[in-house]
Structure 1
């Protein structure tokens, strides 16, 4: 009888624990972000979250975060508008729910090149000289990231054919960009902050300009989830977006805090982080018209194969951003 009573008590305890454990699990959002300057504030979202437990995980690149999202290893991913278009082109289930931080791109050229900052004519002349001399003018980026597309779009607008006029070099990890320049393996690179500032402060290259004169402008980061998460965890997503908005407000008002988090996550010196913040723009809005222009540009550049315009518009879900900010989508980039 004692054994039966003990068994009943254990069963009752387990029954009471199980729903609590399940509720705790359901209240967790696994969030992935890349380790670049404008991405690092995502590491602060857990401390700004209420009503949801955010498990924030850093990835080397936005592509890695997107892979984790579509393979259902995380619930939310900080990626870019470019990743969004690529994911839709591949038929992946992604839903855009918030912006985050824009900017962060810079084009740098070798110190010995007679190229004037922001002077495309001088750049095109050097490219033409290399071509006439039978030497490749090598340009680099991390293929598929925002900086790569920013560079390609800016080149196309200036009449530079990246397939014929220059030789593209893919350097996947932005932390390797500095050494590639030091070894003389490339003439120009479009890289991401804080690595752009690191390269400039190390005098491994000089600034050419910011590649924002193209369809993407300076738009960079976008927060994505999946439709199953939207269905199963709507309240948790709302609180996650609210945390993103709060973090954006915090780092926009306190550059010192942004410098600290960049330095902490990337491991780079605060002097580098201080230079990087000048090229960053915290902004949680989602820009629908620009997203459509980016998708069209990516198709023109043959980065995607299909017209994803309808999917880009359909899969931008403003309800969480509206709830988090108390503003209608007409004031949030729609």
Structure 2
């Protein structure tokens, strides 16, 4: 019996020694579940599993940024690609969210129906038509996916031009951007602010005409923001650092290789490559986080009654630059702070 005990103990010791000899790379990597919306900005995140080193990233596609935010705050995912708008809304509702990097900006397109006598980039012509509808007692129907960046870009641009979205036009919410095309074809709306690549698809199919890219407002071209939660930061700081490092790599990659970006848009959305090729002309890879602009967006959203409280302090406090600094080797002063 004594010999058997010694034999078992010896085998256990050998097992421990063998485990200690296993290279670190062969040991189980931490896993980060990352959610992204299926728009042209966001689709490059589908490449994360092959770009991330030292962490296993599960990239999960959602229909909208609202769906991603819901998954993040309910702890179904660890990191979510949303927008600066979602960030302010989440903080206004008291959710635990922390911004850790940017990703891709731009992507907003305002379109009007083909029969409207509106000239591209001419706000005077649009306001004239809106006034005519109002005088005739007809609603001038404008649409977006409420809660996304395109919605706030449109509302901000309207406000700057003196158009009251609550009095001068009738807002219609179409949650899924992939439904925007059919809403135009059915004649349900006069104007829509949609996201790429759906905006380009609509123009290419002649379902509407381009009016403008609504970047003349406090948000500018800013769109995507990567969020996590404080519990994920506490549990997996190194995994988050490697995730952000992979996002930075992908941004550099798609900025230099347009064909790769076109391919991933085509793969994730199923839209034709000609649509993707035109859509990326309205997109700007950029992993920086812009503090001053984030604060301006929060103020604009309160002015537009999109949020109820002043979240300026929380917006600034919850921008965590440590992961971007580690991933890029740059100080936060060079990363949008």
Identify whether the pair has TM-score above 0.5, normalized to the shorter chain: yes
Following superposition, the deviation at residue 13 of structure 1 comes to 8.0
Question: Distance between the aligned counterparts of 1:179 and 1:56, measured in 2?
Answer: 29
Change (3 A) 1:91 1:5: farther
Following superposition, the deviation at residue 46 of structure 1 comes to 1.1
**Pairing 1:99-178 to 2, within 5 Å after superposition:** 99-178=102-181
SS at match of 2:227: strand
Following superposition, the deviation at residue 119 of structure 1 comes to 0.3
1:29 aligns with 2:32: yes
Question: Distance between the aligned counterparts of 1:332 and 1:106, measured in 2?
Answer: 27
| Partner residue of 2:274 out of 271, 276, 279 | 271
Change (3 A) 1:148 1:5: farther
Following superposition, the deviation at residue 45 of structure 1 comes to 1.1
Instruction: Look up the match of 1:310.
Output: 313
User: Which portions of structure 1, spanning 4 or more consecutive aligned residues, are displaced by more than 4 angstroms?
Assistant: 3-10
Following superposition, the deviation at residue 24 of structure 1 comes to 2.8
Instruction: Look up the match of 1:75.
Output: 78
Question: Distance between the aligned counterparts of 1:317 and 1:115, measured in 2?
Answer: 44
Unaligned runs of 5+ in 2: none
1:58 aligns with 2:61: yes
Instruction: Look up the match of 1:251.
Output: 254
Question: Distance between the aligned counterparts of 1:190 and 1:208, measured in 2?
Answer: 10
1:262 aligns with 2:257: no
Question: Distance between the aligned counterparts of 2:66 and 2:265, measured in 1?
Answer: 20
Question: Distance between the aligned counterparts of 1:120 and 1:4, measured in 2?
Answer: 87
Instruction: Look up the match of 2:49.
Output: 46
**Pairing 1:86-97 to 2, within 5 Å after superposition:** 86-97=89-100
- Backbone CA RMSD of aligned residues: 2.2
Question: Distance between the aligned counterparts of 1:61 and 1:333, measured in 2?
Answer: 26
Following superposition, the deviation at residue 44 of structure 1 comes to 0.7
Question: Distance between the aligned counterparts of 2:149 and 2:334, measured in 1?
Answer: 25
Unaligned runs of 5+ in 1: none
1:224 aligns with 2:230: no
| Partner residue of 2:185 out of 182, 188, 191 | 182
SS at match of 2:216: coil
Instruction: Give deviations 1:140-164, integer Å, cap 9, x for gaps.
Output: 0000100000000000000000000
Q: Which has the larger radius of gyration?
A: 2
Question: Distance between the aligned counterparts of 1:6 and 1:107, measured in 2?
Answer: 76
Question: Distance between the aligned counterparts of 2:206 and 2:6, measured in 1?
Answer: 76
Question: Distance between the aligned counterparts of 1:280 and 1:28, measured in 2?
Answer: 29
Question: Distance between the aligned counterparts of 1:97 and 1:328, measured in 2?
Answer: 14
Question: Distance between the aligned counterparts of 2:228 and 2:239, measured in 1?
Answer: 12
| Partner residue of 2:204 out of 201, 205, 220 | 201
Question: Distance between the aligned counterparts of 1:7 and 1:69, measured in 2?
Answer: 47
SS at match of 2:139: coil
Question: Distance between the aligned counterparts of 2:45 and 2:38, measured in 1?
Answer: 10
Question: Distance between the aligned counterparts of 1:297 and 1:13, measured in 2?
Answer: 62
Change (3 A) 1:138 1:5: farther
**Pairing 1:272-311 to 2, within 5 Å after superposition:** 272-311=275-314
Question: Distance between the aligned counterparts of 1:325 and 1:233, measured in 2?
Answer: 19
Instruction: Give deviations 1:19-55, integer Å, cap 9, x for gaps.
Output: x9xx736x11111000000000111111111111101
Aligned residues: 330
Change (3 A) 1:254 1:6: same
SS at match of 1:189: strand
